[in-house]
Each structure stands twice: as C-alpha cells, then as structure tokens.
Amino acid sequence: MKNLIAPSLLSANFAELKKDCEMLNRSEADWFHIDIMDGMFVPNISFGFPVMKAIKRYAQKPLDVHLMIEAPDRYIKDFVDAGADIICVHAEACPHLHRSIQNIKSFGIKAGVALNPHTPIQIVENVLEDLDMVLIMSVNPGFGGQKFIPNTYKKIQQLREVAKNTNPELIIEIDGGVDSENAKSLYDSGANVLVAGSAVFGSDNPEKTIKEIKQLV
C-alpha cells in the first residue's frame, strides 16, 4: 500500500466544516480522520453523530473513524450508519477485542485497533490476521496539538516485523504530533497512513501542507 495521509477534522474550523471538507476533497488527502471522544476513555469530548453525518454529506473520500470511547461495541452500528468506512477501537477499551473486531467486520467495513503510547504491540499479536489496520498513538489520545513521542518509531518497526508473517498487508497508521518534520521517517519506519491535525489545519495553506507531506515520500 502506498503512503497515505488522513487529516484530522478535530483541528478543522467547526463553523466552516463544509469549507474544510471541500478543501480536503480538492487536496491530495486520502482519508478524512474522524476523532470521537466521550469524556470517559479520554478526558475530552469532541463530537458525535450529527456532526459526523454532516461531514459525510460533503466528504468524497473514506471516513476513518477513531473511537476514543469506552465500550465502543455499543455504537458500531450507529457509526456505520453515520458513514464510517474504517472503524478503529482502542485495545484498552475492549476486554473482548476479537469480538469487537468481528463486530466491525460484520458490517463489511475495515476494522482497526488503536494502541495508546504505553500499550505494547503484543496486545494485538493474536488478532493480527483479523485486522485491516493498527493505529499507533504517538501522543496520549484526547487532544490535538501535542508533542510527538519518539518511542513510536520502535513500535512501528516491531509491529511491521511481527506482521510480516501473519498479515503482510496490515495498514499501520500513526496519530499524534505528525508534521512535515517527522513524516518521512515515519513512512520509512513502516507506517502507511499518517494522521495530521494541527500540522494541516494550523498551517497558512492546508492544501499545500498536505501536498508537501505526501511529496516527502
């Protein structure tokens, strides 16, 4: 899989969401990254179904939904109905992770598992062949604009190594503190998809920033 970029709408201008969706449609972005926070699993609340459905009305690219919520199984169907093309649940929020993955896949969409910075990649080893994607958090989830945690590189390399035999097609996504400084090293370490929130929407020309990050490869 070639290297992709998934700008996070968490850093978009919520009063002008349509505009930002249209910008992403025009840009070289591959996916729309949608961050859902419940104020329990993470100490912040982002947005829910009405906002996601509004994004879906304008988005012409896949919606990559990152659920930072407790007991996410309760809501998988609702996120599918709201237009999710990929759903990632957190390993730390799922005591029956295999079942949660099967639940997502039963809707015919891609399933991913997200790992907090302290969570070892071994936690997904026994479900790796069932997965389309692993999202490695490179900041503690909950907020945009945080500083990238360098230990992420080691985790990408370890995961790529383990996946070689069990799931060579595994997509590795990195989320948090990604910018044009670290993007190339992340792709080089074995990541396929980079999420970027503040680096894209905080720049003077988001469309150009997306292009620049993609050209680094």
38 in contact with Zn ion (CB under 5 A): no
Helix axes 206-215, 17-26, angle to 10 degrees: 30
| From 91, 97, 175, 177, residue interacting with Zn ion (rule: CB under 5 A) | 175
| From 62, 83, 112, 142, residue interacting with ligand DX5 (rule: CB under 6 A) | 142
Residues paired with residue 34 on neighbouring β-strands, in sequence order: 65
Report helix, strand or coil for 135: strand
| Catalytic site includes residue 132 | no
The piece of 52-60, 102-110, 138-146, 160-168 that touches ligand DX5 (CB under 6 A) is: 138-146
The piece of 8-16, 47-55, 102-110, 156-164 that touches ligand DX5 (CB under 6 A) is: 8-16
- The count of C-alpha atoms lying within 13 angstroms of the C-alpha of 107, restricted to the half-sphere facing its C-beta, is 21
Return the amino acid letter for 67: L
Cα distances (Å, whole numbers) of residue 24 to 13, 147, 148, 206, 207: 13, 24, 24, 9, 7
Shortest distance, CB of residue 141 to ligand DX5, whole angstroms?
4
| From 20, 30, 35, 38, residue interacting with Zn ion (rule: CB under 5 A) | 35
Binding footprint of ligand DX5 on the chain (CB under 6 A): 8, 10-11, 33, 35, 66, 139, 141-146, 175-178, 195-199
